[in-house]
Structure 1
Amino acid sequence: MTGDGNWDRRSVLRAAAVMAAATPLLGGTAVAQAGDADALFKAGKFEQAGRAYEEVLRRDPQNVHAATRRGYVALLSNRFADAEKYLGRAVALAPGDKQVNRMLADCFTRQDEFGRAAPHWRAAGMESEAKWYEAFQGRPYEILGDEARLPWLQMDPIPQVEGSLNGGPPKRLSFYTRVGPLNVSARTAEEAGLRVVAKEKIEYVGEELWFYYGVLDSLRLGGIELRNIPVNWSDGDSGDDSDGIFGTSIFYHLLTTVDYAGRKLVLQRKTAARQVSGEVLPLWLADDHLTFSRGSFDGSGQRVVALHVGGTGNNVAGMYEGTAKALKIRIDRDRPEETAAGGQAVSVYPCYPREVRLGGVTARDAYSLAGQQPGHEGHGFDVLGEFAHSFFKPCSVTFDFAAMKFSIARVSTI
């Protein structure tokens, strides 16, 4: 809905959702109890839902759905011990379940335990991912240096910073929280001497492309160097002047501050001490790279919202057309816009909510977009909409993936 542009290729590969319908191994009173837990989960009341799923499991230890959802609740908050416990139980009960294996693979991947992740990627039907992670030797995502303060080369149409691959010349790299690992252009991949360890053919906006998987020895971003990290590229044209784009898979290895107002990206080790500015909100991570918190549109009350930090677009927010209608937000149907989402061309319409609020930061009567299709299906929980690139321009935001907190402060008026 927010105009992801041609770089959102990993969403094509993630078309199999993290979590869809309930696993049909429920019965008797467990159905009602699981239904109650599902309602809490759907409403984004994750902690309450987790306790409700635990109660179901106490009465029915073989309940695959309850074990899966309890593990998923833990995974959303990077509580890996609980995630492994419950998702492992679900896999043991239903070893052929692709969705459960997909989540357990994600759990191990986030912990850089690629060897443990690979069999579950394969069981999830994602053979290229499995081969990719099997190709790693030694410790992935080794971090050298303590801090990087990267001035932006540009703000629009997409923020860019400077980085170096395998000791080569500086490259223009974009960033976006709707992207996972580093994704580079074919030219950049060739210059860096990248070797293909797996590949697959994908369709993107009606075009078939080869998508390649490799291992990058070194990515230097200012004072931080990341060694032995995953990298993707394809034989298509990115459509902009970026040499590559990186996202949440790199951000969650660090304490990440995206300072829009100061035009800089600050990356620090997770152990770095920092003084919190602005309001601190919960942070959830789904489908290995999609970030969520709580916010509101036009009196909706606090709901789960997606955080689309970086990326492109002049809109401050995006939402499903049905949501805009329900909240009586004005939609301008006379001016449809064409964009791409999930590798498919879609139409969106300008809309103008009276207020969108994230923490203590608001935008009023600001240009937003309404899409004909829900933009965040398949997670198992409702998503009100997303806060996009232009919303954050007067702000500084910090992602703390150790504490699973997101902070936002309005720094200046532009």
Structure 2
Amino acid sequence: MNGAPPALFFLNQEYADRLRVPMYGYTTGRTIGGDHKAYQGHVDRLAMGDLRIEDVPVHTIPDTIRLTAPDGRVTQGAIGTSVLSRFLSTIDYPAEKLVLRRNGWVRPEHSVPMGYVGDHFLLSHGTVDGLDRMVFLVDTGGADIGFTAPRATFEAAGIPIPPGDGLHPVTVDEVALGSVTRRRVPGLSGAFPSWFEHGFGFRIGGLPTHEFFKPYALTFDFGRMRILMNTPR
């Protein structure tokens, strides 16, 4: 990125400062780690293997928020929707590959309509434990969990949640996204940002994430606005 040596790319503040990435202000972001300032800027170019991407918008997160790769290395950055949306993007979990196609198409085993709101939020429809269909916020970053939701969703599904704030592991009997149904999904209460539930003018009832998608090659087709899932052959 910007001619720096290869790095696991998540724009932590220290890494952005080291590369002298220009910043133009900030908003207040919220993660499991709490509220923080997210500074906005851009990098001239981002390189991934032989692929070069120009003029990439970025934001930073505090250095106290660090992600660790499976091999133990600490990340400096994460590739977000602003990059993935430029391609037919496949996160192939079983093959441990990220595939970015400039054109073409993927024959899907499962295909789900996808919406796009705000600057990077992906939406679809799903169900939890037999409840009526609801809007899901689709995410891939929830390491070690497959689902989170507002307290109201867990309560409607009959999933007991301890009183008060805090993170609590739960197990969700059934989560469905289109024709994909996963059972005994590891979940986490207290991780769903409260403003997500009604912050877009409609209710978001849940968020499937990393462990839900892990058995699949997951493709985001931004041209056709579909989420595609294929199991390994």
Coarse TM-score class (shorter-chain normalised)? 0.7 to 0.9
Q: How does 1:299-314 map to 2 (within 5 A)?
A: 299-309=130-140, 311-314=141-144
State whether structure 2 residue 199 is matched by structure 1 residue 199. no
| Match of residue 258 from structure 1 | 91
Q: Deviations over 1:206-226 (max 9, x none)?
A: 7775x5433311101123211
User: What is the CA RMSD across the aligned residues, in angstroms?
Assistant: 2.7
Report the Cα distance in structure 1 between the residues aligned to 2:98 and 2:34, rounded to whole angstroms.
Answer: 34
State whether structure 2 residue 162 is matched by structure 1 residue 333. yes
AA partner of residue 325 (structure 1): E
| Match of residue 64 from structure 2 | 237
Deviation at 1:167, TM superposition (A): 2.3
Rg (Cα) greater in structure:
1
State whether structure 2 residue 211 is matched by structure 1 residue 408. no
Report the Cα distance in structure 2 between the residues aligned to 1:234 and 1:296, rounded to whole angstroms.
Answer: 32
Change (3 A) 1:232 1:332: closer
Of 350, 370, 394, the match for 2:215: 394
* Kept in 2: contact 1:361–1:410 (CA 8 A): no
Residue 367 of structure 1 aligns to a residue whose secondary structure is strand
AA partner of residue 303 (structure 1): M
Q: How does 1:167-186 map to 2 (within 5 A)?
A: 167-173=3-9, 184-186=11-13
* Kept in 1: contact 2:155–2:161 (CA 8 A): no
State whether structure 2 residue 189 is matched by structure 1 residue 362. no
AA partner of residue 169 (structure 1): P
Q: Deviations over 1:259-312 (max 9, x none)?
A: 11111111111xx11232221110001111111112111112432211111x13
| Match of residue 159 from structure 1 | none
Q: Deviations over 1:11-38 (max 9, x none)?
A: xxxxxxxxxxxxxxxxxxxxxxxxxxxx
Report the Cα distance in structure 1 between the residues aligned to 2:231 and 2:213, rounded to whole angstroms.
Answer: 8
Of 322, 325, 330, the match for 2:152: 322
Q: Deviations over 1:348-377 (max 9, x none)?
A: 333322211123322212221233847432
* Kept in 1: contact 2:186–2:211 (CA 8 A): no
* Kept in 2: contact 1:319–1:375 (CA 8 A): no
AA partner of residue 221 (structure 1): M
Task: Specify which structure has the higher proportion of strand.
Answer: 2
Report the Cα distance in structure 2 between the residues aligned to 1:302 and 1:203, rounded to whole angstroms.
Answer: 29
Q: Deviations over 1:24-74 (max 9, x none)?
A: xxxxxxxxxxxxxxxxxxxxxxxxxxxxxxxxxxxxxxxxxxxxxxxxxxx
AA partner of residue 324 (structure 1): F
Report the Cα distance in structure 2 between the residues aligned to 1:201 and 1:323, rounded to whole angstroms.
Answer: 28
Unaligned residue ranges in structure 1 (runs of 5+): 1-164, 175-183, 337-345
Q: How does 1:215-294 map to 2 (within 5 A)?
A: 215-233=42-60, 236-240=63-67, 241-269=74-102, 272-294=103-125
Residue 152 of structure 2 aligns to a residue whose secondary structure is helix
AA partner of residue 215 (structure 1): H
Report the Cα distance in structure 1 between the residues aligned to 2:59 and 2:186, rounded to whole angstroms.
Answer: 33
Residue 324 of structure 1 aligns to a residue whose secondary structure is helix
* Kept in 2: contact 1:359–1:408 (CA 8 A): no
Task: Specify which structure has the higher proportion of helix.
Answer: 1
How many residues in Structure 1 have an aligned counterpart in Structure 2? 223
Residue 250 of structure 1 aligns to a residue whose secondary structure is helix
* Kept in 2: contact 1:331–1:350 (CA 8 A): no
Unaligned residue ranges in structure 2 (runs of 5+): 68-73
Q: TM (normalized to structure 1)?
A: 0.49
* Kept in 2: contact 1:360–1:409 (CA 8 A): no
Q: How does 1:88-167 map to 2 (within 5 A)?
A: 165-167=1-3
Report the Cα distance in structure 1 between the residues aligned to 2:21 and 2:56, rounded to whole angstroms.
Answer: 12
Report the Cα distance in structure 2 between the residues aligned to 1:257 and 1:379, rounded to whole angstroms.
Answer: 27
